[in-house]
Structure 1
Amino acid sequence: MVFDASAAAPRPRRVVDQSVVLPFAPSIVWHCFVDPVLADGWLAHLLIDERVGGGYSVVWPTDEPHEADWFGTIEEIVPDGRLLVSFAPHTLLEFTVTAHDGAPDAAGDSSSVVQVRHESFLTADEQRTVRAFWRARLVDLGQLLRGRPVEWNRSPGG
């Protein structure tokens, strides 16, 4: 192999963590990560084989800043808790939902902490874009769970 001094420096491995507290039990929120109909309402079109080693394919809406759809493999799945998906060759995506420490509301309902962890080789600009993307998706998740329609067309003038 010949060293090419003009080649672009490799991107460092970076992690983006985003989280939100939602006024819904983990058993409710969990389905938004694995149910294709619910995922379609906040994330993207989802094709899933819900088992370790199963496929987890994300077909992004056309206005999202992704270069291509993602085809991954479920590495770990803990119902109502954790979903870890690897997207070859370099990206890991983890969804975690846990009960929030706060007291139940007046109706006795519990709340959840939802965390998204996205690990990949990213430039600093890409990391900022990914962080903003997941922040917006978690807002959409909250809106979906509250029964509000999610507006997918975010393109300027659209």
Structure 2
Amino acid sequence: MNNQAAADAYLESRVLTAAPYQLHLLVVEAALRHSRKALEALEQKDYEVSYFALTKARECVDELVFGLNDEPIPDLSEGMKQLFLYIHRCLRLADLTHETKHVADGIKILEMHRDNWMLAIERAAQERAAGESAPASATSAPVQAQSQAAPSHDSSDEPRSSFSLIS
């Protein structure tokens, strides 16, 4: 098995075993990776590479939109949807105009989202840890809050197709 095949196998394993909040983070990181590749290609005026990288980045952003669960907090979900659609628009404009500023805007927003998502994961873990030492009735709120914050990706209902986006 060569290095690329091993890396692909490892990544596939991560995707297939990831919790929904981890899968969301993997897709955000993939969108960032493809966006950065597109930015570099646009700076070098390699429009073919930028086209394919921007296409992959937009597919990742589409997956983020489709993964939103609007049941727990509809206003939050709608706000996230609008944010992701704006990022998608930035990436589309970069593809049409070959202007790096559009990709840079999308990257900046994705980075902020990733950083905030990681903070939310850490906070939920801290609340869960604090809840484990509390009485049983006090532990349900942090767990429920974390499950509401995570996008909807129920692994029992459908196969995960995000591996092709992340790789």
TM-score range, shorter chain: under 0.3
Q: Select the structure that is richer in helix.
A: 2
* TM-score computed with the length of structure 1 as normaliser: 0.28
* TM-score computed with the length of structure 2 as normaliser: 0.26
Q: Select the structure that is richer in strand.
A: 1
